[in-house]
């Protein structure tokens, strides 16, 4: 299966990228944009911690983050997390227009207990327009999009038109600037999963019209990877530990979103071939109600992760990264 992973990597690289450029890209931080629905689940907090830990190690460069749900406390919580990890400058955006409204057991308290500069969610720009602005400034075929929530913002990005940021349409801009999209979403080979179902029309549109490779980390991947208790070893002052405490008292919780972040940074060049296999040569067919089914075909632009290493092995990697991030304070 390692050959399959590497084959997908090569096919997913822009045609203009040479082998030498690919080697250079492997040693450079991966530029990422994170789109999150941080709210009713706490794995988003874990994913943000993992991403900061990878950035601390020089493996990732965080270009921007966006919130895909309506919750006035979520952007403030996210801002507090970024401030705690000493990256308060990360640009933030929020979904505009119709979107899922979601509650949270921790977002308000994290925003109130930890320092940050953002005053209100309403003051933030439209995430889709922020992504346009950020993408337009990046080298062609360089950015990895990571979605760990509903796909409303990504659908909205694809539907944007030329503006002061770029003369390109949303689809054209994504095609030019995005290397790949790693999506936590779907059940494989078929099923119904929260992120896709929560805004079914947006999911169907985004996945059908996305012009670059997509790798899905499905529900079945993160559902078996239990993390949380390991955070008891971390600093009591950590907002990551605090969020998990508020959510479920640091008892084991599936790690859906952390897997997408981990693969986006370490996996696209085959670095995680011992942990996950990659099933490609097909595409995900998503109905307007968000239900999904994988259809085999000659198309190589979409793929999904298949469990290879024991979930406990991956859980240890994820918890270690979450702890490393917390230790930065």
10-residue mean pLDDT profile of the chain (329 residues): values are 38 33 58 97 98 97 98 98 97 97 97 97 97 98 98 98 98 98 98 98 98 98 97 92 97 98 97 97 97 93 98 97 76
Nearest to 50 by CA among 181, 230, 188: 230
CA dihedral 206, 207, 208, 214 (to 10 degrees): 130
How far apart are alpha carbons 329 and 317 in whole angstroms? 20
Q: Name the one residue in this structure whose structure tokens are 């950590």.
A: 238
Name, in order, each residue with C-beta under 8 angstroms of 219's C-beta and a sequence gap of 6 or more. Answer: 186, 187, 191, 193, 194, 256
How far apart are alpha carbons 176 and 142 in whole angstroms? 9
pTM: 0.92
pLDDT score for 24: 33
> With contact defined as beta carbons under 8 Å apart, do 64 and 130 qualify?
yes
How far apart are alpha carbons 98 and 202 in whole angstroms? 11
Q: Which two tokens stand for residue 285?
A: 């067919």
How far apart are alpha carbons 211 and 157 in whole angstroms? 12
Angle at 273 between CA 272 and CA 276, to 5 degrees: 85
Q: Measured between alpha carbons, how far is residue 326 from residues 67, 105, 214 in Å?
A: 22, 20, 30
Q: Which CATH superfamily is domain 2-326 in?
A: Ribonucleoside hydrolase-like (3.90.245.10)
> With contact defined as beta carbons under 8 Å apart, do 170 and 161 qualify?
yes
Sketch the domain layout of the chain as residue ranges.
2-326
Angle at 246 between CA 240 and CA 249, to 5 degrees: 95
pLDDT score for 194: 97
């Amino acid at each position: 299966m390692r050959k399959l992973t590497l084959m997908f990597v090569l096919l997913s690289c822009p045609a203009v990228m040479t082998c030498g450029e690919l080697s250079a890209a492997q040693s450079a931080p991966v530029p990422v944009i994170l789109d999150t629905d941080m709210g009713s689940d706490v794995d988003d907090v874990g994913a943000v911690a993992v991403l900061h830990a990878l950035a601390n190690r020089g493996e990732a460069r965080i270009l921007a983050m966006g919130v895909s749900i309506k919750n006035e406390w979520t952007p403030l919580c996210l801002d507090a997390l970024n401030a705690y990890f000493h990256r308060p400058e990360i640009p933030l955006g929020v979904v505009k227009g119709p979107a899922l409204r979601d509650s949270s057991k921790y977002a308000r308290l994290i925003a109130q207990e930890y320092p940050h500069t953002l005053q209100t969610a309403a003051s933030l720009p439209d995430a889709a327009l922020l992504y346009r602005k950020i993408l337009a400034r990046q080298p062609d075929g360089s950015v990895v999009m990571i979605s760990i929530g509903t796909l409303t913002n990504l659908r909205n990005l694809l539907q944007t038109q030329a503006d002061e940021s770029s003369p390109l349409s949303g689809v054209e801009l994504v095609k030019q600037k995005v290397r790949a999209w790693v999506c936590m979403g779907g059940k494989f080979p078929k099923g119904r999963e929260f992120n896709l179902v929560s805004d079914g029309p947006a999911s169907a549109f985004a996945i059908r019209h996305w012009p670059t490779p997509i790798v899905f980390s499905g529900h079945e991947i993160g559902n078996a990877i239990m993390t949380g208790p390991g955070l008891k070893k971390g600093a009591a002052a950590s907002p990551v530990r605090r969020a998990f405490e508020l959510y479920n008292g640091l008892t084991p919780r599936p790690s859906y979103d952390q897997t997408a972040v981990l693969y986006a940074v370490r996996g696209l060049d085959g670095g995680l071939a011992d942990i996950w296999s990659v099933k490609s040569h097909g595409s995900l067919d998503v109905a307007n109600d968000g239900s999904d089914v994988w259809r085999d075909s000659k198309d190589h632009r979409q793929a999904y992760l298949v469990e290879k290493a024991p979930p406990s092995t991956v859980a240890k990697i994820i918890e270690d990264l979450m702890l490393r991030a917390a230790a930065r304070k």
